[in-house]
Structures are given as C-alpha cells and as structure tokens.
Amino acid sequence: MTVIRAILKKEFTSYFVSPVAYVLITIFLILSNWLFFNTYFLDEQASMRIFIARLPWIFLFFVPAVTMRVWAEEKKLGTMELLMTLPVKDYEVVIGKFLASFLFLLVCLLLTLSVPMTVAYTGDPDWGPIIGGYLGSLLMGTAYLALGLFISSMTENQIVAFILSLLVSFLFLIIGENFVLYAIPDWLVPLFEYIGFGSHFISITRGVLDSRDLVYYFSFIFFFLLLNVKAIESRKW
C-alpha cells in the first residue's frame, strides 16, 4: 500500500508541475462546454444529454494525451530502470500510475460540474440521466485510460503512444455503432455490440445501472491493466 500511495502521489503531482496538464484541462473544458452550450439554449430542454453524448468523442483525444507519457517517458529517460530496481512489485507501480491518471480524469470531470449547475438554474432537469451520464463517462474514460496506459508501456515514443491509443480507442468506440453493425454479418452483431463501448455507455447514461455493463467496463479495465503488468514484465523475457 505504501508503494502504491507513494507512486500515486508522485504521478498525480507530476501532472500539475508541467503546463501540459493545464493546457489539457483548459482545452477539455472549453471543448466540452462549447459543444454543449452551442445548442443548449436553442433546444429549450433542461437536459445534459448532448453534453454526455459528446464526451466519448472528446475523451478519444483527451485520454490518450493524459496517458501517453506515463510509461513512455519513463522508458525514454531510463528512470524505468531506477523505478523497477526499487523494492516494488510490478503490479504496485501499474496500479499506482493507473490510480493517479484516474484521479486526474476525475478532477477534469468534476470541473465540468458547472454545466449541471447551469442546467439546474435554467430549468428543472431529470437528475437520473445526469448522474448516470457522469458515471458512464467516468467508466468509459477509465476504460480508455487503462487502454492508453497499456499502449504507453509498449513504446518509448509519446507520439506513437498517443496515436496508437487514439486509434485503438476509436476502434472500440465505433465497432458498436449502428453503421458498422449494419455492414457486418448478422451473427457477428451481438459480439460487436457487446465489445463496443457504445451500447454499455448508452444504457448507463439513461440512468439504468445494469450489472452486465459494469462487468463489461470492470473486466475491460482489469484486462488492460493485466496486459500492462505483463508489458512491464516483458523486460525479463
């Protein structure tokens, strides 16, 4: 626990010592707010549906930018050798880094709370979908994180990590979309629908907490963290 906490603390503060984090947060907030308020006052509807629906697409660029340096930089600078010769277990470092990026994501999401406040001020929203929307976004963002961290651990080039994470996340995002589902053989449809982020995200954002969706996200996150540990261990192969 001490190790995980120490790494979590170090990684989390390291986000904020460089200007990159502030730039990222600013872009994230401007983009998410603008894409929402753009149409909000025209719709005359006190709902955050559009805001939540945009988030997976914003995360697509935002999350890889958060995760790209986490392992890649460690490898590039050679600090990996220092870190992995400290009395730590590989999985402790993986968990510590994952929790730090999770906390960063959480902070970014919390900073958007001005949106529901505005919605509540201008109308009388249904809180179920809003809470569900936040939860769904957090789960989806965390799934992106686990994926991005794994990819970052495979390379020492941050740009490569960013682009690959974006591509793979994009794949997971679109394979459950309708235009893909129409194009593939029928028997593949349930599989694609299940693997893709979309269906799970939508049902949670409706305010419906189905254990199947939670299981999906948790196993997705767990799977990629496991791969991350294996990638760190790969130096021993």
Q: Which residues bind other proteins (CB under 8 A)?
A: 2-3, 5-7, 9-10, 13-14, 17-18, 77-82, 84-89, 235-236
CB nearer other proteins, residue 179 or residue 237? 237
Q: Which residues contact 208 (CB under 8 A, 6 or more apart)?
A: 132
> In angstroms, what is the minimal distance from the CB of 168 to other proteins?
27
CB nearer other proteins, residue 13 or residue 114? 13
Alpha-carbon distance 160 to 128, whole Å?
39
Q: Which residues contact 181 (CB under 8 A, 6 or more apart)?
A: 189, 192, 193
> In angstroms, what is the minimal distance from the CB of 6 to other proteins?
4
CB 66 within 8 A of CB 105: yes
> In angstroms, what is the minimal distance from the CB of 229 to other proteins?
15
CB nearer other proteins, residue 77 or residue 159? 77
> In angstroms, what is the minimal distance from the CB of 87 to other proteins?
4
Q: Which residues contact 233 (CB under 8 A, 6 or more apart)?
A: 90
CB 192 within 8 A of CB 175: yes
State phi, psi for 86 to the nearest 5 degrees. -75, 160
The single-letter DSSP state of residue 44 is: T
Strands (DSSP E) contained in the chain are none
> In angstroms, what is the minimal distance from the CB of 148 to other proteins?
20
CB nearer other proteins, residue 81 or residue 126? 81
CB nearer other proteins, residue 92 or residue 213? 92
